[in-house]
Amino acid sequence: MSTPSSTPVNKEPYQQAYYPPKPTGITRFLRTCVLWQLVRFVVINVKMIKLMSKSHTDSQR
Partner 1 sequence: MSRIVILGAGISGHTVARYLNQWVGKQHEIVVVSPNARWNWIPSNIWVGVGQMTEEQVTFDLAEVYKKTSIDFRQAKGVSIHPEGDASDPRPFVTVEYTLPAKAGQQERIAYDYLVNATGPKLNFGATEGLGPDHGHTVSVCTATHALEANHQLQQQIDAMKRGERRTFVIGTGHGTCTCQGAAFEYIYNVDHVLREAGVRDQARIVWISNEYELGDFGMGGVHIERGGYITNGKTFAESLMVERDIEWIVRAHVKKVEAGKIHYETLDGSFHELPFDFSMLIPPFAGVGLKAYDRAGEDITAKVFAPSGFMKVDADYTARPYAQWSADDWPRTYQSPVYRNLFAVGIAFAPPHLISKPMQSANGTPINPAPPRTGMPSAAMAIAVAKSLRDMLAGAEQPTHQASMARMGAACVASTGSHLLRGTAATMTVFPVVPDYRTYPEYGRDLNLTFGEIGLAGHWMKSLLHYTFIYQAKMKPGWQLLPD
Q: Which spans of this chain sit near partner 1 (rule: CB under 8 A)?
A: 16-17, 19-23, 30-32, 34, 36-38, 40-41, 43-45, 47-52, 54-56, 58-61
CB of 3 to partner 1, least distance (A): 25
CB of 22 to partner 1, least distance (A): 6
| Cα–Cα distance measured from residue 7 to residue 41, given in angstroms and rounded to the nearest whole number | 46
Residue 6 phi, psi dihedral angles, 5° rounding: -100, 5
Q: Which is nearer to partner 1, 1 or 18 (CB)?
A: 18
| Cα–Cα distance measured from residue 31 to residue 27, given in angstroms and rounded to the nearest whole number | 6
